Structure 1
Amino acid sequence: MKLEIDVPESAFSALRQAPGELAASMRLMAAIKWYETGMLSQERAAELAGQSRQEFLLSMSRVGVSPFQGVEDDLAAFAE
């Protein structure tokens, strides 16, 4: 399925990305955020990002997102 969105010209220069690069970057960042919030499984998020699960894990690491959903909350609850 194809989705069209309007993006201001300034976004391309601010992010220093061509349209194709920006589209891929937006897919990746959306996938990471939706995985982080529990809306998507790791498998589905990687699929949305157009990456293998291994590549997706590395991408999450590059932007500082943990691949372990809810682990911090579980550990905090356990420590109480």
Structure 2
Amino acid sequence: MEKHPDDKKPVVEYTAKITLPNGEVIEKTVSTEGDFPSLEDFDLSTRDGLLHDFDLLEKTVLETSRKLNGELSREYLDASSKKKRK
């Protein structure tokens, strides 16, 4: 099946925040474009089809989670180092 240029891929987006005791909030949002099918195209007709499509979804979710963890940690450390320089 050939994809149309206007076909958009699904996007997994995570937002996380750290609220410090002083009320300051460090927040980060990351997103990852996925290769998994849309809800309408998810293959529920066979076990192998379901497992294949779910695997594509899970890989995107895990990639996005890892990306968020790294970026939120860097934001926290950056904010911490800026406070110590003042």
More strand by share: 2
Fold-level similarity (TM above 0.5): no
Structure ID, larger Rg: 2
Normalised to the residue count of structure 2, the TM-score between the two structures is 0.31
